[in-house]
Amino acid sequence: MFLKAACLRSAEAKTGCVHTILSPSGAGDSVNLLSRKAPVTETTQQARAPQTWRLTLAYDGTDFHGWQVQPDKPTVQGELQAALGRIAGETPLPQGSGRTDAGVHALAQVASFPLMAPIPAENLQRALNRTLPAAIRILEARVEPDGFHARHSARAKTYEYRIFRGEICPPFLARYVYACPWPLSVLALHEAASGFVGEHDFLSFAATDPDVTARTNVSEDRDDPDDRRGTVRTVFSSAWEEQATAAGRVLVYRVRGNGFLHHMVRNLVGTMLDAGRGHIDPKSIAEILEARSRSAAGPTAPARGLFLHSVEYD
């Protein structure tokens, strides 16, 4: 008499093999082993790869200690990282196209970072604007191909410096312009600005901070320490224009280049203002560049008039 067929599940079941054994009752009788193998189905999903995000943001830099995160100080990078943590539960450190200094503003800064969370772009933009301080706004959020980097992938940047020319600067403009009521020769400003176009060694217009040797790098964009360009940069355009506003005349200097040294734009502006006031000859710009000495150039213009205008990519 044969026993009722029984299905025995053993440790082999973990491999997907189920054995059905038919056994006779008598000792020493033959045993028939019928084996049925069931295919193993892969149920473990592959780990999700992080997406590379690109944000375009504008900010009022007045109340921030610059872009780069600093201990116990409010920075744009720090605020953005904290906001991502609140929204996505992840805290990647956003990399900016340029690490603007304390008090410098941005009309279209670009930041990139990896994120695992599968968030639609419009939802991420909306959520960030709801949790970030009012002085920081996300203008656009988008996913980029792997390898995109806000700083390394940039091909050109444009900075803008604004000077208020009226007698009394309105308080609602004071945070965003440098008030210069004294006489200025606009022709001299134009002539001086043209002298910066082209590839030059801009060491004369680089910062000379006491801690410059301790910096990870010396560029306005804080390029990599092994940047082989040194202090050589190419300026594609450099020009002034006048704008009439309800509050009064504003002079706007706009410079576009492949990179900028630390304080470079503000030092260019300070030197051109010296030319506009007649303190130096506008034609002396070439000599100042050749000197490769910060003492040969003019003063550093205040941070409040400077804006990162735009960043260009392929």
Tell me: the pLDDT tens digits for 246-284? 888 999 999 999 999 999 999 999 999 999 999 999 999
* Domain assignment present for 65: yes
* Domain assignment present for 173: yes
CA-nearest of 150, 124, 161 to 241 is 161
- Which candidate in 101, 221, 223, 274 is catalytic? 101
In a shared domain, residues 19 and 60? no
In a shared domain, residues 183 and 251? yes
In a shared domain, residues 162 and 295? yes
Of the residues 144, 175, 210, the one at which a domain ends:
144
The partner residues of 32 in beta bridges, in order of sequence, read 22
309 — pLDDT class (breaks 50, 70, 90):
very high
In a shared domain, residues 223 and 304? yes
In a shared domain, residues 181 and 298? yes
* Domain assignment present for 149: no
In a shared domain, residues 109 and 243? no
Query: pLDDT tens across 28-80, in order?
Result: 444 444 444 444 333 334 567 899 999 999 999 999 999 999 999 999 999 99
| Known catalytic residue at 101 | yes
Domain span holding position 23: 6-37
Contact in structure between 282 and 260 (CB atoms under 8 Å)? no
* Domain assignment present for 1: no
pTM metric for this prediction? 0.80
In a shared domain, residues 131 and 220? no
Q: Are strands 105-115 and 51-59 parallel, antiparallel or unpaired?
A: antiparallel
Contact in structure between 250 and 165 (CB atoms under 8 Å)? yes
